[in-house]
């Protein structure tokens, strides 16, 4: 069935051009002559995307945009402009429009290629389904020269890229030198991978960074299916899937920036984290000894998200929705560090100079500034990002808040953030780290004891994991 796209443009010529451009690509186009008509159609029908001109009349484009984002958040929105002066007259910039939940902004006169790129940019996550349906025979290996910066790596043991493969897979021979061992659409040959692993003593496969968002979407879909199968898939496999998914999502956010469609994908990541924790019995046995992590910011974000969501299961007032907000806040809690020098991420605060520490302590406020203009990000998440370093005795930052003045979910994430840093820094299992943390009376006293107890119970309480 063709995907339905709604076009709203007061200019009849451009409405017809957009229709001609997309009809040729097998989309199903409908036109709306006013903003009010857009709202009625979106209310009555389901559309994949909306192409909305900023000069839309009878309910402005901004009114329509707000309505669609609130009532149909899954609809992809592409804004068209008569010229660049349109935004200047509105005292807006392109980035301001994107923050409102728009996936692309294009300026007339746009070409068929530009419009298709805008539409297909939000359709990238569907490509793997086409490849699954049109599998090819396997191709021979192909050596290529490409910059290392163009690639993302993944552990062979954790590789979940579909069968047939959703994109090209490579092994790295040396600096900027790769071999494409599996082409998109080829069947994923486990024996071939094992052979390369043994002969070349490799632990990682590589794919192009431009495919990372597609990978996140695929693993999200895969994990949803896996969780529905219940006990048919080993728990350790599910946990590693969640870990890999979370890390690649954080890596995409940290390197490509926040985008509305990426935030939507992140919400699915958080739901998968919460669903795994709340439905799996006996998960504590894996979590207590879990050591599949490293020193990267991506791995740290996974640990904080996973353990924070687990902690929430011991709070009577925390629903699944609350756990999902906590997970998203955990994933984004350190995003403000992207605005700071590298040492703010690479050095332990104890090793920083007074000047470096002063910079480091600005990252919660910078993080708040980065995400507060995204209407699709819940206010609970922004408060977590802003207050996760506040402590009960007022010795935290950025505002030195005390006790009940600190947002409860920020207290949860702050506690787990400290716990996760401890187990990675000291190379401890969660079981060892929990014992070490509880014995450090000075450190543990800075956190709400109700949440400390919940953290312990999240590993031990039979109603959660046993």
Whole-number pLDDT of residue 463: 42
Instruction: Tell me what the mean pLDDT of segment 248-264 comes to.
Output: 83
Q: What is the pLDDT of residues 91-130, one digit of tens each?
A: 888 778 877 878 888 888 888 888 887 887 644 545 545 5
Domains of the chain, CATH where assigned? 4-122 (3.40.50.2300), 128-211 (no CATH), 280-465 (1.10.3210.10)
Which stretch of 67-81, 152-166, 174-188 has the lowest confidence by average pLDDT? 152-166
Specify whether the CB–CB gap between 216 and 252 falls below 8 A. Answer: yes
Report how far apart, in Å, the C-alpha atoms of 285 and of each of 235, 433, 465 are: 10, 15, 8
Whole-number pLDDT of residue 137: 59
| Positive or negative torsion for Cα 280, 284, 286, 291 | positive
The span from the CA of 407 to the CA of 380, in Å, is 9
Instruction: Tell me what the mean pLDDT of segment 416-426 comes to.
Output: 94
Beta-carbon neighbour count of residue 192 at 10 Å? 15
Whole-number pLDDT of residue 464: 41
Whole-number pLDDT of residue 162: 63
Q: Is the pLDDT of residue 296 over 60?
A: yes
Q: pLDDT category, 279, cuts 50, 70, 90? A: confident
Q: Give the residue with greater pLDDT, 233 vs 133.
A: 233
Whole-number pLDDT of residue 129: 53
Q: Is the pLDDT of residue 451 over 80?
A: yes
Q: Give the residue with greater pLDDT, 162 vs 369.
A: 369
Q: In the numeric block, which tokens belong to residue 247? A: 């890390």
Q: Give the residue with greater pLDDT, 197 vs 381.
A: 381
Strands of the sheet with 151-155, listed across from one edge: 142-145, 177-182, 169-174, 204-208, 151-155
Q: Is the pLDDT of residue 134 over 50?
A: yes
Q: What is the pLDDT of residues 306-354, one digit of tens each?
A: 999 999 999 999 999 999 999 999 999 999 999 999 888 889 999 999 9
Tokens 């005390």 locate to 402
Q: pLDDT category, 172, cuts 50, 70, 90? A: very high
pLDDT over 70 percentage in the chain:
91
Whole-number pLDDT of residue 335: 94
Q: Considering only CA atoms, which of 235, 287, 276 is closest in space to residue 434?
A: 287
The span from the CA of 114 to the CA of 8, in Å, is 17
Whole-number pLDDT of residue 462: 41
Cis geometry, peptide bond prior to residue 164 (ω within 30 degrees of 0): yes
Instruction: Tell me what the mean pLDDT of segment 263-283 comes to.
Output: 88
Instruction: Tell me what the mean pLDDT of segment 274-287 comes to.
Output: 82
Q: What is the pLDDT of residues 179-226, one digit of tens each?
A: 999 888 787 777 778 888 888 888 899 999 988 988 898 898 889 888
Whole-number pLDDT of residue 41: 93
Strands of the sheet with 28-32, listed across from one edge: 28-32, 4-8, 49-53, 76-81, 104-107
Instruction: Tell me what the mean pLDDT of segment 227-244 comes to.
Output: 84
């Amino acid at each position: 069935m063709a995907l339905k796209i709604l076009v709203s443009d007061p200019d009849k010529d451009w409405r017809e051009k957009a229709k001609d451009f997309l009809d040729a690509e097998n989309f199903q186009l409908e036109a709306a002559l006013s903003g009010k008509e857009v709202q009625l159609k979106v209310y009555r029908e389901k559309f994949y995307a909306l192409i909305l001109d900023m000069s839309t009349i009878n309910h402005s484009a901004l009114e329509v945009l707000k309505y669609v984002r609130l009532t149909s958040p899954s609809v992809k929105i592409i804004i068209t402009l008569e010229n660049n002066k349109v935004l200047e007259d509105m005292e807006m910039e392109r980035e301001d429009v994107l923050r409102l939940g728009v996936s692309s902004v294009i300026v007339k006169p746009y070409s068929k290629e530009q419009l298709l790129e805008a539409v297909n940019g939000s359709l990238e996550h569907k490509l793997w389904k086409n490849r699954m349906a049109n599998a090819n025979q396997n191709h021979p290996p192909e050596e290529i020269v490409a910059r290392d910066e163009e690639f993302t790596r993944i552990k062979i043991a954790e590789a979940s890229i579909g069968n047939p493969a959703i994109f090209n897979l490579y092994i790295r021979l040396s600096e900027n030198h790769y071999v494409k061992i599996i082409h998109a659409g080829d069947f994923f040959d486990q024996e071939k991978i094992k052979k390369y692993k043994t002969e070349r003593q490799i632990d990682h496969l590589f794919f192009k960074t431009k495919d990372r968002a597609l990978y996140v979407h695929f693993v999200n879909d895969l994990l949803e299916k896996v969780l529905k199968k219940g006990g048919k898939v080993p728990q350790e496999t599910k946990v590693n899937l969640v870990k890999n998914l979370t890390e690649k999502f954080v890596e995409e956010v940290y390197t490509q920036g926040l985008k509305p469609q990426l935030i939507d994908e992140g919400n699915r990541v958080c739901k998968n984290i919460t669903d795994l924790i709340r439905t799996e019995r006996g998960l504590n046995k894996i979590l207590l000894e879990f050591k599949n992590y490293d020193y990267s910011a991506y791995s740290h974000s996974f640990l904080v998200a996973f353990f924070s969501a687990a902690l929430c299961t011991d709070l009577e007032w925390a629903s699944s929705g609350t756990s999902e907000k906590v997970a998203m806040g955990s994933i984004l809690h350190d995003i403000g560090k992207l605005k700071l020098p590298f040492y703010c991420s690479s050095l332990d605060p104890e090793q920083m100079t007074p000047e470096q520490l002063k910079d480091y302590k600005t990252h919660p406020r910078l993080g708040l500034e980065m995400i507060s203009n995204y209407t699709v990000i819940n206010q609970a998440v922004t408060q977590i990002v802003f207050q996760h370093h506040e402590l009960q005795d007022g010795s935290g930052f950025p505002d030195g808040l005390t006790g009940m003045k600190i947002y409860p979910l920020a207290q949860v994430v702050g506690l787990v953030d400290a716990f996760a840093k401890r187990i990675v820094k000291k190379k401890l299992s969660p079981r060892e780290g929990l014992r070490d943390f509880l014995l450090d009376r000075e450190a543990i006293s800075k956190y709400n004891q109700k949440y400390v107890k919940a953290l312990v119970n999240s590993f031990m309480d039979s109603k959660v994991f046993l």
